[in-house]
A and B are shown apart, each in its own frame.
Chain A
Amino acid sequence: MTIVTNGAESPPTERAPEGAIRVVDLRDVQRVIRTRAFDDVAANAGAALASLAVVWLVYDELLGLDGLLGFLVCWFSAYLVFYVAVSRRSHPGVVVTDRVVSAVIHLAAIVAGLALASAIVFVFVKGWPALHHLNFYTQDMSGVRPTSPLTEGGILHAIVGTLVQVAIATVIALPLGVGTAVFMTEVGGRLANFVRTTVEAMTAMPDVLAGLFVYTLLIVGLGWEKNGLAASLAIAVTMAPVIARSAEVVLRIVPGGLREAGLALGSSGWSTVRYVVLPTARMGLASSLILGIARITGEIAPLLIVSGASTYLNLDPTNEPMNSLPLFVFTAVRSGEPLYIARGYGAAALLLLLVLVLFVLTRLLAHRRGVSR
């Protein structure tokens, strides 16, 4: 039996055993048209070199200007002028425009990539002094002065705090989010549309407001102390709509034909969801969940408000403040104490690493599903 999909987004291409359902992907794939003549390469390289030489001479030697940014801007402008001049000699205007646009787009993409990469490299370089001490991972900051050397104290309390808080938040937000997504896609109706609109509105809510909400309600209103549970709730409130929204996207990708096949075979709506829709979307749901966690792990705004920055290891979320990685970074880098700031960078690097690990996990899951997004 063969099911043909139009592969609009992501056909399930899991290899089924012999004789079972085989999914054939008839998705259009654009042919790769890639011809690069010698002229293209030569014009490009020549313009780059010529403009470098000219700008070097004029900018540095004749005008006596300095500043790297100015130099690069002048170089690129000169490069464009040269490139246009060279191209015009042998090509019509259409080709010249194409080349200029191509150069600009490549440059912009490279600049954006470099800028983003610089942020990551920067944090890891600054965090390295703290990161390469083992005690950074095994000790907490109790009794450690901000000026203490990096061989004393660590951020175990913040690591544990983040893990506990995110775990509690996930336990709350996951059923709520996925359940809402199932409701929106599988049950439907007017109410579901209203819920969808509200969830989308909720994802617009600045995180800091979720924190302020929990703070006002629980800590000021009900007299809770600042503890890990309050922080988890604040995280859960921001996380649930995010999961609901991304899970809904994943569920909507499940081909309607599969659902109809299930229903046509006489299964009930629940069985269809349970045995057809959810298993098909399993990997996608997992990756949307992990992505939600990755996004929320670094969100500090709600934590800043509801979670106290303890210096000691605290495993009990219902009692006493509980630190977390983002919060530790925030307090550390604002302390003005060089060694403490170094610890902050170390924690930030660890936070990035955590996001990275979660992300790679998502990609692996998505890859097994044979889908590129």
Chain B
Amino acid sequence: MTAITVRDLHKSYARFEAVRGIDLDVADGEVFCLLGPNGAGKTTTVEILEGYRRATSGVVRVLGHDPAAAGPGMYDRIGIVLQQCGVQDDLSVGELLDMYASYYTRPRPIDEVIELVELDAKRGARAKTLSGGQRRRLDLALALVGDPDLIFLDEPTTGFDPSARRHAWSTVKTLCSLGKTVFLTTHFMDEAQALADRVAVMVGGRVVAAGTPDDLGGRDRAPTRIRFELPDGVGAADLPDLGTSRVSATPTGVEVVTSEGMAVVNRLSGWALERDHDLAGFSLSQPTLEDIYLSLTEDTSSKEAVR
């Protein structure tokens, strides 16, 4: 069963097209991450899914509802954490949770929610006295209090220090262990890597790649890069036959790019041992998600610039 379906979604504002025809499928129970630089159209997309904005065209279904026409039925089953959003400042944490819980047909026990976001000590504190991090945790608590099936998190860790981010990540992992579907937007690659079951990279209003963090952009099939230095008097021409590999000189040695990493490593080490060469600085690397992300976003932004 799919939690979210999006087909050919477009959203135009007066002067520009923020979303230019995207398709998304989010399965029940997965953590889906919409990754992209600022201004890519992520927030516009998530706010259409949440029912805050109307699509210009396209089909959108969230838990079977059309968000543009959604009423209490849809909002009863989703939880929303918006970017920077205030709360009734003069009420306490406990009162706020009571109040928001009263809106839902099957709320989660308040004690449980307070414990989950670790605000037990702040239960009686007025919302206006909370620190920034505590406020974000309250945001999450208010999104969870209705025990939603689907949770939207729009850039949940922007402005967090590294330890607060780790903490937020573990909370998201708790959510998915509870069987929740999570729709997350972020511009941090490590966040997508750490949390997402599947990632869609959005740039300039389009989805330019989609997949799991491991196979995104063909990362799993990307060639292995082997680098090492050669001893004095030995040149690249002296290397054994390395099949279809591409060999090139680097300032300090040689780089071999190959799709048959293991075979090439085996042949190279045999050759070096036989001749008693020490291949200094021998290293082997696979492109990181960051490499893939940067190449995807750079490609697209240069294309956008030409347009």
A and B physically associate? no
